[in-house]
Amino acid sequence: MNTSIVAIVGRPNVGKSTLFNRLVQRRDAIVDSVSGVTRDRHYGKSDWNGKEFSVIDTGGYAIGSDDIFEEEIRKQVELALEEADLIVFVVDVEQGITPMDTEVAKLLRKVKKPIFLVVNKVDNAMRENDALEFFNLGLGEYYTISSINGSGTGELLDAMAIKMPEPEETDLESEELPRFAIVGRPNAGKSSFINALIGKDRNIVTDIAGTTRDSIDTKYNRFGFDFNLVDTAGIRKKSKVKEDLEFYSVMRAVRTIEYSDVIVLMVDASRGFESQDQNIFWLAEKNKKGVVILINKWDLVEKETNTMRDYEAAVRKEIAPFTDVPIIFTSVLTKQRIFKAIETAVAVFESRKKRIPTSKLNDTMLEIIQQNPPPAIKGKYVKIKYCMQLPTPTPQFAFFANLPQYVKDPYKRFLENKLRDIFDFNGVPIIIYFRQK
Residue numbers belonging to the annotated binding site for GTP:
10-17, 57-61, 120-123, 184-191, 231-235, 296-299
**One-letter amino acid for residue 238 of the chain:** K
State CA 137 to chain mean position distance. 33
Q: Which residues contact 304 (CB under 8 A, 6 or more apart)?
A: none
The Cα 391–Cα 379 span in angstroms is: 35
Q: Within a 10 A sphere around the Cβ of 350, how many other Cβ atoms?
A: 14
Q: Which residues contact 381 (CB under 8 A, 6 or more apart)?
A: 373, 403
The Cα 414–Cα 434 span in angstroms is: 14
Beta bridge partners of 86: 6
The Cα 373–Cα 414 span in angstroms is: 11
Q: Which residues are annotated as a binding site?
A: 10-17, 57-61, 120-123, 184-191, 231-235, 296-299
Listed residue (150, 235, 141, 142) closest to 187, CA to CA: 235
CA torsion sign, 120 to 124 to 130 to 133?
A: positive
SS3 content of the chain, % helix, strand, coil (to 5): 35, 20, 40
| Contact (CB, 8 A) for 290 and 428 | yes
Q: With both helix axes pointing from N to C terminus, report the angle between 275-286 and 244-258 in degrees, rounded to the nearest 10.
A: 40
Q: With both helix axes pointing from N to C terminus, report the angle between 66-83 and 99-108 in degrees, rounded to the nearest 10.
A: 30
Element at 217 (helix H, strand E): strand 216-222
The SS3 call for residue 154 is helix
